[in-house]
Amino acid sequence: MPEAERAQVAEQVFVGNEAKEDVGLDQSVGLDAQMGEGWSQHAYGGEDSDDFDRGYTIEGVIEPNMIDGFLHGEENRQFRSKVWEEFTKIRVGGVVTKVQCMHCNAEISAKRGAGTSAMSTHLRRCKARMSVNRVVNQLKSTVMSPEGIALKDWRFNQDTSRKELLRMISLHGFPLAVVDYDGFRRFVSSLNPVFKMVSRRTITDDCSKKYQEEKQVLLDVLKNVKGRVSLTMDMWTSNQTLGYMCITCHFTDDDWKMHKRTLKFSFMKTPHTGVAMFNAVLRFLQEWNIEDKLFAVTLDNASNNNAMMKLLKSNLLEKKMLLGKGKLLHQRCAAHVLNLICKAGLEIINPIVHKIRESVKYVQGSTSRKQKFEEIIQQLSLSCEKRPKVDTCTRWNSTYLMLKISFKLRRAFDSLGQQDQEYTFAPTSEEWEKSRKVRKLLKIFFAATTVVSGTLYPTANLHFHEIWEIRLVLRMSED
């Protein structure tokens, strides 16, 4: 059949098919007029598009002479028409047989040789797409900026938006009930009224599914680790006095880059005995398939940890899964050891620390006191830009930072004691001097803790050098 006749027949067929459709075309024609040339027949499967080069359909039968020169597979199918940009291809046996609309998820036949007429017709009549286009047109008319120009390439996808919502909740720790908040729903609707907000139960299910997906990815990563992995483990107590076990895995990739992943953070039933913790850790190792890859476990010096590690070492030795007979399996947390030393030292000067802590609390207790303290600092021309914060009793390094900054502002505290009769916590000159000496010793502990607490570099080889330097400083202070 000559090229001109073939095009004419196809045009008649498509025009006839479109005439049979009972869906009103007035809306789609009006929409095409609003959207301009991008939605013309030429752009979406008209007679001049590339789709007609792939063969023509006459009453559902593909004429043999229309597909001469084409392979039956996907080798020569190029999908050059713009209509494909708004559909997801569905393949069967590696060959595209159907497509799914990105706007309403409707499925349309897209076998080779059928052209894109049905897809083009669906796009013109897709209500979900019409709603999106209205939003885009409104934004184009109101946003006069370089960012507004990029809207012509924007495509709304319900699934993509749900994934971003899930990521936001997981990343920032928002409550799952945020999707039920009226204010949040109205805010999202103002941004995109087409988006269908999900319920709390749905987003909970999405979180669970996403966790399982990411867990499988991490399982594959650990499976492909050529070396061994090490664990750090600790027990946490919530403000409700509930115990939680946290386990982090450390390993290196093929490029010797260090990685760490938190694999477990879950509720731990009481009592937290060595046997109970051993059972929990063993189930964890088997669940993540790293029982035969374990090299070392780093913990603090709690007695239940010691009992747990003895049981774990014995179990893994029987299975012949440890290197060097497990001599390096149990590692003491160096930062925890330093923490115990510093806490013991701070107890000696606890009355002085208490005075400085109460002084900081007093200044921060009201806005007027803060203003008064700032005025004194300016009057004395003190150059310290930082202000002391109340320390956390369980973290000695915060106590060190409080003493360090407070000492630099000791003249301001002394002056505040002279001007404010209610301020009765001002340390004496002798007490300030003792705090200075203790702070000088704590400084070396603070530096050592910072070094051994690093996560982006190995620390086991640095532990001894830091402890030895602390020993030298302590010996010099005795002399």
Q: Which two tokens stand for residue 195?
A: 């988006």
| Per-residue pLDDT at 72 | 46
Burial class (CB in 10 A: 0-12, 13-18, 19+), 14: buried
Between these two residues, 20 and 357, which has the higher pLDDT value? 357
What span, in angstroms and rounded, lies between the C-alpha atoms of 324 and 294? 12
| Per-residue pLDDT at 193 | 81
What span, in angstroms and rounded, lies between the C-alpha atoms of 342 and 337? 9
| Per-residue pLDDT at 337 | 87
Residues 143-186: pLDDT tens digits? Answer: 555 554 555 566 678 888 999 999 999 999 999 999 999 999 99
Beta pairing, strands 95-101 & 87-92: antiparallel
What span, in angstroms and rounded, lies between the C-alpha atoms of 409 and 391? 16
Work out the pLDDT band at 457, boundaries 50, 70, 90.
Answer: confident
pLDDT (mean) for 66-92: 67
Torsion of CA 386, 387, 388, 390, to 10 degrees: -120
| Per-residue pLDDT at 144 | 52
Q: Could you say which DSSP state residue 390 is in?
A: P
- Enclosing H/E stretch for 251: strand 243-252
Work out the pLDDT band at 12, boundaries 50, 70, 90.
Answer: very low
Cβ count near 346 (within 10 Å): 19
Query: Which residues make beta-bridge pairs with 231?
Result: 249, 297
Is the pLDDT confidence value at 19 over 70?
no
Q: What is the mean pLDDT of the chain?
A: 80
Contacts of 269 (CB under 8 A, 6+ apart): 243, 276
Work out the pLDDT band at 138, boundaries 50, 70, 90.
Answer: low
What span, in angstroms and rounded, lies between the C-alpha atoms of 377 and 415? 9
Q: Which two tokens stand for residue 454?
A: 């690093």
| Per-residue pLDDT at 146 | 52
Cβ count near 292 (within 10 Å): 12
Work out the pLDDT band at 139, boundaries 50, 70, 90.
Answer: low
Between these two residues, 210 and 35, which has the higher pLDDT value? 210
Q: Give the phi and the psi of residue 235 in degrees, each rounded to 5.
A: -105, 135
| Per-residue pLDDT at 438 | 86
Angle between helix 274-287 and helix 303-318 axes, rounded to 10 deg:
50
Q: Could you say which DSSP state residue 395 is in?
A: -
Residue 408: name the closest of 434, 386, 426, 391 by CA: 386
| Per-residue pLDDT at 213 | 93
Least confident of 21-35, 165-179, 277-291, 423-437: 21-35
| Per-residue pLDDT at 153 | 60
| Per-residue pLDDT at 279 | 94
| Per-residue pLDDT at 474 | 84
Between these two residues, 314 and 20, which has the higher pLDDT value? 314
What span, in angstroms and rounded, lies between the C-alpha atoms of 103 and 98? 15
pLDDT cut 90: percent of the chain above it: 41
Work out the pLDDT band at 293, boundaries 50, 70, 90.
Answer: very high
| Per-residue pLDDT at 175 | 94
Residues 393-447: pLDDT tens digits? Answer: 778 888 899 999 999 999 999 999 999 888 988 899 999 998 888 888 889 999 9
pLDDT (mean) for 283-311: 93
What span, in angstroms and rounded, lies between the C-alpha atoms of 472 and 440? 14
Is the pLDDT confidence value at 5 over 60?
no
Residues 301-327: pLDDT tens digits? Answer: 888 999 999 999 999 999 999 999 999
Between these two residues, 218 and 339, which has the higher pLDDT value? 218
What span, in angstroms and rounded, lies between the C-alpha atoms of 387 and 233? 34
Task: Dihedral sign for Cα 89, 91, 95, 96, please.
Answer: negative
| Per-residue pLDDT at 150 | 53
| Per-residue pLDDT at 336 | 87
Q: Are 99 and 112 in contact (CB under 8 A)?
A: no
pLDDT (mean) for 282-288: 95
Q: What angle do CA 231, 236, 241 make, to 5 degrees?
A: 160
| Per-residue pLDDT at 130 | 78
Q: Which two tokens stand for residue 18?
A: 């479109």
Between these two residues, 130 and 19, which has the higher pLDDT value? 130
Angle between helix 410-419 and helix 396-408 axes, rounded to 10 deg:
70
| Per-residue pLDDT at 55 | 34
Tell me the domain boundaries of the chain.
3-129, 157-224, 231-332, 338-478
Residues 380-390: pLDDT tens digits? Answer: 999 888 999 99
| Per-residue pLDDT at 131 | 74
Residues 349-386: pLDDT tens digits? Answer: 889 999 999 999 999 989 999 999 999 999 999 988 89
